[in-house]
A and B are shown apart, each in its own frame.
Chain A
Amino acid sequence: MGDEIEAIEAIERLREARRATRAASGSREGDGRAMERAARVEVEDVDEEGGSARVKTRVKAPLKSYGAPKEFLEEGPLDAEEDEDLESDEALGFGKSKKVIDRESAYSKRRFKRELSPGKGSEKDAGEGRSYAERMQHAAIDRERDNTLRNIEKKQKEEAERLAEEARLAAARTSEPAASDAPRAAKRKRRWDAKPDDSAAGPAPAAPRVSEWESDDSAATGARWDDATPRGPSKWDETPKHTSQWETMESGTNAGDAKATPRRSRSRWDETPMVRASGDPSATPAWTGGETPVIHAGGETPKTVPGLATPSAAQIAAHQAMLQGNVPMTPEQYQQMRWQREIEERNRPQTDEELDELLPSEGYKILEPPASYVPIRTPARKLTQTPMPYGANAGFFSIPEEDRGQKFDVSLAPEGLPEMKPEDVQYFAPLLKETDEEALTIEEQKERKIMRLLLRVKNGTPQQRKSALRQITDRAKELGAGPLFNQILPLLMSPTLEDQERHLLVKVIDRILYKLDDLVRPYVHKILVVIEPLLIDEDYYARVEGREIISNVAKAAGLATMIAAMRPDIDNVDEYVRNTTARAFAVVAQALGVQSLLPFLKAVCHSKKSWQARHTGIKIVQQISILLGCAVLPHLKSLVDIIEHGLSDENQKVRTITALSIAALAEAATPYGIESFDNVLKPLWKGVRAHRGKVLAAFLKAIGFIIPLMDAMYANYYTREVMVILIREFATADEEMKKITLKVVKQCVATDGVEPEYIRNEVMPEFFKHFWVRRMALDRRNYQQLVETTLEIALKVGAAEIIGRIVEDLKDESEPYRRMVMETITKVIEELGVTAVDTRMEELLIDGMLYAFQEQTTDEGDIMLKGVATIVNALGLRAKPYLPQICGTIKWRMNNKSPEIREQAADLISAIAPVMRKCEEEQLLGHLGVVLYEYLGEEYPEVLGSILGALKAIVSVQGMTRMTPPIKDLLPRLTPILKNRHEKVQENTIDLIGRIADRGAEYVAAREWMRICFELLELLKAPKKAIRRATVNTFGYIAKAIGPQDVLATLLNNLKVQERQMRVCTTVAIAIVAETCAPFTVLPALMNEYRVPEINVQNGVLKSLAFLFEYIGEMGKDYIYAITPLLEDALMDRDLVHRQTAAVTVKHLALGCAGLGCEDAVTHLINYTWPNVFEPSPHVINAVTEAIEAARVALGPQFVLAYTLQGLFHPARKVRDIYWRIYNNLYIGSEDALVPAYPALEDDGPNTYRRVELDCFI
């Protein structure tokens, strides 16, 4: 019994102690929060309504603009077709993962194949390991080899085809059923290395069993070659490393001749001493880790976790290498390790301390484990468990020591540094080792320093990051360009990089570029290799960032260096490298001026050595015109001349890109510069007739963009000429060609010289026949292009013509097609109205519209809603006969089960309410009002928001008096809805209530309004600014309706709350109430509130005053004397924010009563403000400076000058600094007015300082 009591007491004590610690930490936290708040007060005091919310939304905002840029969408597809294996960007979804790599297309992933440091060993001293000549040579060898390989491949293919053909013939001859296997065999022949005898075996037993090797290769034809080649000459000429794979394969196939299974047993694990666990290069991003040997660690299986299988030599080697901490792992492994760590973390055994805390200390005792007890540590059982993460427990597998105090949650972070993720270890491993800094050389110390800073930037908290970033910037020169880039650039190439991390690292580069200036020269190429991929990133901001860095590099390194660094990449065999290089060159041109790049471009575009160089050169021109827009005009002629000859190039790709570049130039130049294109018209013209397929598409595009630049007469002529070909191509099945044809038709139709009659007779029949078909509605880009082109035609030939042709299709059975028709009609009517639509067509239109509206299953992008709204609004009075039917539909849909349909119906009401009013369908409106009122119990917030919006629309057209249901019934129903936290609901309710408070406040009892007031306070917390603003204004309306006293009391009470945003909004509301109800009704209570000895309240009062005087302006002169003592007190307060806010008030007050005879009071206040000029806080000093500026306006610059003169030549620099700043402000503000007020200076030696003219008098 006694024991029990003691135990209970012990528990009580424990709880007590814990509560105490929690309270202590809580208060500490509280202090922290208070400080943070104070800081935020300073930060955000400038903007009036809760800046913090804006910060939040700002973070979110960029998401909206994700997606491929316009120029990509436009020029992407042709490129895609043109380049062998570029994947369409469109197919990409936005992965949930934050990692850059996860949302990259295979094409973007090609960046990993680029080498960061081309040289070996020498990179420490001479960043660029190889000389320019060497690099050029390597590029040439690469190209040569690529050509040879292609030739070989081609030959092999032909050979294989021939053999297959023979085999097929043979098979046909024997007419065996096995003949069906022949195509399959033939298909396999496509591998150039496939041995003829293999295929001759025909349907051998091995064929159906697809081995790993085969699946690899047939999945990506030639991928291995593509993969291996660009990886770099250094590998090529140093060891035949990747040929080893071929040998394996070769031998594998040989073995496979006999039997399929042994081939598999001949595994690559034991074959080579090199660690190569990965089989599939397309699955594992091949990471060429500079000097470290290439190690593909187990990409194909996550099984490399030790112990699951018998560890092979290779695995052990890989594992040990991993433990040393400098081996890159695949993302899958990281993922797994991260997951493991989390599981470990959650399932970790309880420590002794935790047990001690949980269990009462008295009444229990810790037993010794029996001597015979042996913990179950059979390896077999242990193996199935999740092992410890690599970094935390450095042992492959060892029976752990019994350690009761063992820490299971040790993080991978050394002292004072942010936590390392497992994937960071390879870069930051040295930080994990305890080393004596003193013993290191200076170089090593620097390296460690950089590493530490980078880790902080990458993984640290915002504060850590900020200070590390600043340090790294400030000390950039001292740390040296070499060590910095040698660490940053590999990090940026890391396959596990996340968006945020990449952004931060790019920021680091940007900052150090400023500091290093021309010291970056040796590293230009490395930087470009890392940054260029950003130029084709799908994220807009990444692209902008990439451009900024490259242009900074260009400015720092100069044109010569840039050209030297990028020249070898221009004719790189890898299309990816050329593509990014072209884009980078365009950025360089933008940064350093197109003019200076022209000679180089000319040389490249005329290169005789390789078509790749010409192709890239011309592509650079294209990118320049996309990037610069109309700024290419001064260089238009020279750019066109440079690429002109490409139209008749022997290589098809060069011709295509030339035409595309001309299109881009013409697009950028619109509507000027036709004379620059004179020379290319003829070749283009010839080309259009001579070419077919993709080249033709490109040529057509070029002509399509040039025609709008022409004079009307020529445009007409050329349009007629090109139209023949276009009409021929209308029938094409090629999607790309379709898009281009549509685009060109749009351009031609829009041109001045083209007559409507011609379009109507020659173009439209074919156009509608080929394009207005259901299939076109299925592809989004075709759809958009068709709608745009049709709209353009409608602008030429009139609305009736187009609507007449497609209106029947509103009843088509295909929904996407109906939607496309509806969108076209909507756009046409938006542009041209319905005047051309006759009664018959009007009926058809309404009929079709209602059909399409009712039959819709989903409304993507609100096309149907917008369509109906546009048509009804355009018809106006003519819509009267149809309104009952439309309303019937709406009412029926309001009853629908699906919330989307109800929402859409409600939205439609708000869209057509004005038309109903115009048609004098008041009864119908009233009826709809009642229906909506009944639906206020709606549970889906989206729908409820729309219903409220519809009610608002009806209220605003009906007016308060005629509204049904009457306002006095409606408003009480809205009060509870104010509690709804959904943004859309809040916004619509507050709008509706605000409108009622503004126009019809007398219909509602004062008590109801007070109730609403209390609810409104909550709305001040809303994250959306529009809601807060509407709320604050509503306070004004309510105060006007029921008098300020009660509302003010509520608001003043609200100043005591903790939340800053609430207080800020409250102060605004107070100021608005004061403005609407005249300041004298509010000021006494407000000033009285200042006596409350509470910092928040006093600050709130001061802030209200600041807003108040800002709003009332000149009226302030009636109150300045009354308010002066309060401001006096505030300006002398110890609290910084008091003085700051008071200074803001003084500013508004002074500006308000400038020239109204209150100089004495303003002087008095400025005398109190002036001593604050020495405040170090930027916000205070800003407020004070502005107050002084206001004094300049109110009291005259002479007055302020007299104050300023005292400190201009003060012995203390700090004093001089701030006084000169004030003087400069003063000087900029009223330079001329100071002339008579300058002090009289005495002459000094040879210098005459006296202004003798001022002594003149008559």
Chain B
Amino acid sequence: MASAADRLNISSQLEHLQSRHVGTGHADATRHEWAVNIHRDSYASYVGHHAMASYFAVANGESVGRTKYEFTQKMLLPCGLPPELEEE
């Protein structure tokens, strides 16, 4: 019964998917949303791969720990405040 009910709203599947993976998008996603996701993923990747983090640390002349900390901080608002939505 549940499967039949699910089939009625395929969009619910997508919603479910989205709830599990934050970075996924949809047809109405804005450029800003997408960019924010890209940035957060990038920072997460830099922090997660130690080799990357140490590379950036050497390039910036910072300690690895600080570099990682800064990356983590930048994930908060990586691209600035979201632009005002145009009302139509």
Interface residues of A (CB under 8 A from B): 470, 473, 507, 510-511, 514, 545, 548, 1208-1209, 1213, 1216-1217, 1220-1221, 1223-1224, 1227-1228, 1231-1232, 1234-1235, 1238, 1241, 1244-1249, 1251, 1253-1254, 1256-1258
Contacts and interface: CB of A to CB of B under 8 A. Distances in A.
Contact of A1227 (B1, B24, B46, B80): B24
A1247 B79 contact: yes
The residue among B48, B78, B79, B81 with the most chain A CB atoms within 10 A of its own CB is B79
Contacts of B60: 1256
25 contacts: A470-B8, A514-B5, A548-B1, A1208-B34, A1209-B31, A1220-B25, A1221-B14, A1224-B17, A1224-B24, A1227-B24, A1228-B21, A1228-B24, A1231-B21, A1234-B41, A1238-B41, A1241-B31, A1241-B38, A1246-B80, A1246-B81, A1249-B39, A1249-B79, A1251-B39, A1256-B55, A1258-B58, A1258-B59
Nearest to B34: A1208
B42 A1251 contact: yes
A1238 B55 contact: no
A788 to B, nearest CB: 35
9 shortest interchain CB distances as A-B pairs: A1216-B27, A1256-B59, A1224-B24, A1235-B45, A1247-B80, A1249-B35, A1217-B27, A1247-B79, A1238-B38
Given A514-B5, A1220-B29, 18 more contacts: A1213-B27, A1217-B27, A1220-B27, A1224-B14, A1224-B24, A1228-B17, A1228-B24, A1231-B41, A1238-B41, A1244-B83, A1246-B80, A1247-B79, A1247-B83, A1248-B78, A1248-B79, A1249-B39, A1251-B39, A1256-B56
A290 to B, nearest CB: 29
A1258 B45 CA distance: 20
B1 A1231 contact: no
B57 to A, nearest CB: 10
Contacts of A514: 5
A1249 B37 CA distance: 11
Contacts of B31: 1209, 1241, 1244, 1249
Contacts of B38: 1238, 1241, 1251
Nearest to B59: A1256
A1257 B31 CA distance: 28
A1216 B31 CA distance: 13
A1245 B83 contact: yes
The residue among B17, B27, B29 with the most chain A CB atoms within 10 A of its own CB is B27
The residue among A473, A1209, A1257 with the most chain B CB atoms within 10 A of its own CB is A1209
Contacts of A511: 5
B21 A1247 contact: no
A1249 B34 CA distance: 10
Contacts of B81: 1246-1247
A1234 B39 CA distance: 11
B49 to A, nearest CB: 8
Contact of B46 (A1217, A1241, A1253): A1253
Contacts of A1221: 14
A1099 B45 CA distance: 45
Contacts of A548: 1
The residue among A511, A1234, A1253 with the most chain B CB atoms within 10 A of its own CB is A1253
Nearest to B81: A1246
Contacts of B24: 1223-1224, 1227-1228
A1248 B32 CA distance: 10
Given A473-B8, A1238-B42, A1253-B56, A1248 B27 contact: no
A419 to B, nearest CB: 25
Contacts of A1251: 38-39, 42
Nearest to B18: A1224
Nearest to A1238: B38
Contacts of B5: 510-511, 514
Contacts of A1246: 80-81, 83
B23 interface: yes
A1231 B37 CA distance: 11
A1235 B37 CA distance: 10
Nearest to A1178: B10
A1227 B29 contact: no
Nearest to A1214: B27
B32 A1247 contact: yes
Nearest to B39: A1251
Nearest to A1218: B27
Nearest to A548: B1
Given A1249-B35, A1249-B79, A1235 B25 contact: no
The residue among B25, B29, B48, B56 with the most chain A CB atoms within 10 A of its own CB is B25
Nearest to B74: A1253
Nearest to B32: A1247
Interface string B47-88: 010000001101110000000000000000011110100000
A1253 B42 contact: yes
A1224 B39 CA distance: 16
A1224 B8 contact: no
A1220 B42 contact: no
Nearest to A1235: B45
Contacts of A1209: 31
A1247 B77 CA distance: 10
Given A470-B8, A1251-B39, A1232 B79 contact: no
B48 A1232 contact: yes
Contact of A1257 (B34, B39, B59): B59
Contacts of B59: 1256-1258
B27 A507 contact: no
Given A1220-B29, A1253-B56, A1258-B58, A1232 B45 contact: yes
A510 B5 CA distance: 9
B4 to A, nearest CB: 8
B55 A1258 contact: yes
A1232 B45 CA distance: 6
Given A514-B5, A1227-B23, A1247-B32, A1235 B42 contact: yes
B58 A1224 contact: no
Given A1244-B31, A1253-B46, A1258-B59, A1235 B80 contact: no
Nearest to A474: B8
A470 B5 CA distance: 10
B25 to A, nearest CB: 5
Contacts of B42: 1235, 1238, 1251, 1253-1254
A1047 B56 CA distance: 64
A1246 B77 CA distance: 12
Given A473-B8, A1208-B34, A1235-B42, A1224 B83 contact: no
B23 A1231 contact: yes
Contacts of B55: 1256, 1258
Contacts of A1248: 78-80
Contacts of A1238: 38, 41-42
A600 B83 CA distance: 52
B67 to A, nearest CB: 9
A1227 B21 contact: yes
Given A1235-B42, A1251-B42, A1220 B26 contact: yes
A818 B44 CA distance: 73
Contacts of A1217: 27
Nearest to A1215: B27
Contacts of B39: 1249, 1251
A1249 B79 CA distance: 6
B54 to A, nearest CB: 11
Nearest to B48: A1232
A887 B8 CA distance: 62
B1 A510 contact: yes
Contacts of B58: 1258
A48 B36 CA distance: 43
Contacts of A1249: 31, 35, 39, 79
Nearest to B79: A1247
A1081 B29 CA distance: 52
Nearest to A1212: B27
Nearest to A1217: B27
